[in-house]
Structure 1
Amino acid sequence: MADAADLSHIKGLLFDKDGTLIRYDESWGPVNREAARIAAAGGGVELEERLMNACGMDPATGKTRPDSLFAAGTAAEIAAGFVTAGSPLAVGPLTIELDDLFVRASDFSVPVTDLGGYFGRLKARGFKLGVASSDNERSIRETARRFGFIEHLDFIAGYDSGHGCKPEPGMVLGFCKAVGLEPSQVAMVGDNNHDLHMGAAAGVGLKVAVLTGTGSPATLEAMADHVLGDITGLETLLPQAQTA
């Protein structure tokens, strides 16, 4: 664990979206059920529940397993998981349907905090800010617009933005290039090991896990430098950013 006194070099914050900025179960439970219904293509409740289980969600409790396809996968990866588990649809067309659904998912999203105010405070302190998600870029932008923080972002990357997918380092490196920072000056903030592994692969200076998603201290603390209840803990964890 790093001490706050050691964190004055952190000048950029790269956030995952779902489970990090958005509370996962409340936001994505209804969406995952609808995704399984689409993938089942009229095959009935038993198939829908099989598809949910295959991608990581317990249909009875609505809880999603850490690091499962629902928790960390792209639309294409989830579509492939559905097809492997018995969806009669082809991966390509199903991916398109899921991407469209995930854009509409912001209607169901429950933010962790007042995200407009939160990002505004971080920006005022001098931090460079970005969002890197396994969701598509349209969905990220829609969420950022809806919750009033898009004007504070310096960088947005989805799986379809050309930087590769988690846990590869490309999104972090793209953020660094966009804002003029070294990876060692960046904190990666997420709720899944995919986020932390991406940060480690890129060589970030700080890996922060939050508990508003599918992860738990038991699943996250081995890879994280800090495990926080939610993103608001960053405001006290990090010292004032040094502006150029």
Structure 2
Amino acid sequence: MSRNALRGIGGILFDKDGTLIRYDESWAPVNREAARLAAAGNANLETKLLVAAGMDPISGHTHADSLYAAGNAAEIAAGFIAAGSPLTVEDLTSRLDALFVQATEYAVPVTDLRSLFSRLKARGLKLGIASSDNELSIRQTARRFKIDRYVDFVAGYDSGFGIKPEPGMVLGFCAAVGLEPGSIAMVGDNKHDLAMGANAGVSASIGVLTGTGTRDTLAPLADLCLDSIASLEELLLCDEKIG
């Protein structure tokens, strides 16, 4: 797809982690705490759980499309239990959801989100956030970075729209803002974000490199890969010049 990938779109649906906020910087301490909770005091198991979820225990880097990178709290809990956690799925899911809500304090934005979202909104675009995190965590992140007033739609794995890569979150966004899938762009840092967009029939699936995904992992599904969401405005300017 050409640099005018956003030409004619009416809305943008963003993933949260790795897209609005930098993944490793934001989630490394949270992921360590998640493994500690799941290990229930067993230090050796804690390390095993980190590896099973896709995080390097030494560097803190999380691998693309791993359980940590792409899973929701329930999926991560199930993965931990399969790797040896003695807790129940229900208990661990509840604990992880609570932890992930608290994690907003660790979030490191990829850019000045308030300024970016205000400018995108001023262009008349509808804006949404769709994440594998829980809805409360997403809303708290939006409030922390003062973008909640610009966001028209929020969906987490527990919001009733299904989970990624199913198309439900995209279709929910479209229904909420009165747009067709063919007039929106999906932006994310992992395959399941872009696959969700493709499954819903969006106009453009755009990968960003501020999360766990790489150009190699995103290229098969991305119409375009950007260094970060800050480059979206460059595409919109290209659209204006072409138009």
What band does the TM-score fall into relative to the shorter chain? over 0.9
The CA RMSD measured in Å over matched residues stands at 0.8
Deviations 1:177-235 (A, max 9, x none): 00000000010000000000000000000000000000000101111011000001111
The equivalent residue for 1:31 is 30
> In the alignment, which of 156, 159, 162 is matched to residue 160 of structure 2?
162
The equivalent residue for 1:208 is 206
1:231 and 2:225 matched: no
Deviations 1:69-118 (A, max 9, x none): 10010000000000000000001100000000000000100000111111
> In the alignment, which of 89, 108, 115 is matched to residue 110 of structure 1?
108
Deviations 1:116-152 (A, max 9, x none): 1110000001100000000000000000000010000
Alpha-carbon shift at residue 61 of structure 1 (Å) = 1.1
The equivalent residue for 1:101 is 99
Listed as ranges, the gaps of 5+ residues in structure 1 are none
1:188 and 2:186 matched: yes
Q: d(CA) in 1 for partners of 2:220 and 2:160? A: 29
Give the AA of the match of 2:178: G
Alpha-carbon shift at residue 20 of structure 1 (Å) = 0.1
1:121 and 2:131 matched: no
Give the AA of the match of 2:33: E
Give the AA of the match of 2:30: V
The equivalent residue for 1:8 is 7
Alpha-carbon shift at residue 43 of structure 1 (Å) = 1.3
Deviations 1:12-65 (A, max 9, x none): 000000000000000000000000000001112x11010000011010111111
Alpha-carbon shift at residue 3 of structure 1 (Å) = 3.8
Give the AA of the match of 1:18: D
1:174 and 2:172 matched: yes
Listed as ranges, the gaps of 5+ residues in structure 2 are none
Deviations 1:152-177 (A, max 9, x none): 00000000000000000000000000
> In the alignment, which of 134, 150, 174 is matched to residue 152 of structure 1?
150
* 2:187/2:208 contact within 8 Å kept: yes
Matched length: 238
What TM-score, normalized to structure 2? Answer: 0.96
